[in-house]
Amino acid sequence: MAEEFTLNTGYKIPMIGLGTYLIKGTDFTDKVVDEALGAGYRLFDTAHMYNNEKYLGAAFKKMLEKHNLKREDIFITTKFVPSTDYKTEEDYHKLVQESLKNLQVDYLDMMLLHWPGVYGLSNRSKDVITYRHNAWKALSKFKEQGLIRSIGVSNFLIRHLEELKKECEVIPALNQVEYHPLCFDLELLDYCKKNGILLQAYSSLGTSGDRSLRNHSVVKDVAKELDKSTSQVLLRWAILRDVAIIPKASSRDHLVDNMNLDFDIPKNLMDTLDNMGEERLDWNPHDVI
């Protein structure tokens, strides 16, 4: 079982979870969830744009029973991007109810605003801030009602978090951002720690279909010296910074390897990884007002 972190809501979340982007189809999803539960995964991260909530919901119904587990034994996170299509609290309520129905659960452990921007608006439009905060206020209400146990954000910078703190009463429990040796913000990590927000990394191993981070010569050299895989080195690098991780994997070997992170990386090798350079591989929130 992965180590846990106690969120500012009082609920516990595993520090290691499974990202489910590109996991679709009944048979494939059943297989991955089955093997993930068997390997010890208890956190599953999805999103509206992944279009796989229904497959995951069906898989949980079958596989939790197979592994003698209950709904409360797993932590389910989903997320959505604010949009001009969502104008009222009722619009957001329908959105949450859709996820509950798809995942076949009575509550969500975590729901995130997937992006500080808004579909249908320019990233520089001041209306973005209004939509973003209205979405957050709606999630805050659903949290009070028990539909969602904890709420958080994704791809938020310090200034986005500061605006949210000034305008809204509820502080995010989690901020999910791109975080790996080529893209890490120590100032953001420090801010989140000081404000009781767990920083959770996505793209820890690079983006789907792109092995350049795992094949980077520096990562390979460190992995060889530690007798670990490059994936294990990248994931352990994050954990040693107190950053939670949700790497994607589908094969049993990779699922097991990504959980087997009980080793140390000496400071000199951490420094080596920290100085690989800078490259953002996914969304860039710096352009969002």
User: CA 8 to CA 4: how far, in whole Å?
Assistant: 13
Query: Is 11 within a domain?
Result: yes
In a domain, 136, yes or no: yes
**Burial track 186-205 (b if 16+ CB lie within 10 A, e otherwise):** eebbebbeeeebbbbbbbbb
| Total number of domains constituting the chain | 1
Mean pLDDT to the nearest integer, 170-188: 98
Q: What is the pLDDT of residue 186?
A: 97
Integer Cα distance of 193 and 242 in angstroms: 9
In a domain, 149, yes or no: yes
Under a CB-based contact definition with an 8 Å cutoff, are residues 16 and 244 in contact?
Answer: yes
pLDDT at 143 over 80: yes
Indicate the pLDDT class of residue 2, thresholds 50, 70 and 90: low
Q: CB–CB of 49/276 below 8 Å?
A: no
pLDDT, one tens digit per residue, over 61-93 is 999 999 999 999 999 999 999 999 999 999 999
Torsion-angle region of residue 51: left (phi > 0), alpha (psi -120 to 50) or beta? Answer: left
Is 269 inside a domain boundary? no
Q: pTM to 2 decimals?
A: 0.97
* Spatial strand order in the sheet of 108-113: 18-19, 43-45, 75-80, 108-113, 148-154, 174-178, 198-202, 244-245
Taking all residues of the chain, what is their mean pLDDT, rounded to a whole number? 97
Q: Does residue 75 belong to any structural domain of this protein?
A: yes
Q: What's the domain range around 15?
A: 4-210+241-262
* Confidence label for 255 from pLDDT (cuts 50, 70 and 90): very high
Give the pair of three-digit tokens for residue 191: 């801010």
Backbone angles phi, psi at 224, to 5 degrees: -65, -40
In angstroms, rounded to a whole number, what is the distance separating the alpha carbons of residues 56 and 94? 19
Looking at the domain assignment, is residue 232 inside a domain?
A: no
Which residue among 11, 21, 41, 50 is the active-site one?
50
What CATH number corresponds to the domain at position 19? 3.20.20.100
- Does residue 278 lie in a domain region? no
Q: Is residue 216 part of a domain?
A: no
Residue 230 has pLDDT above 60, yes or no: yes
Is 131 designated active site? no
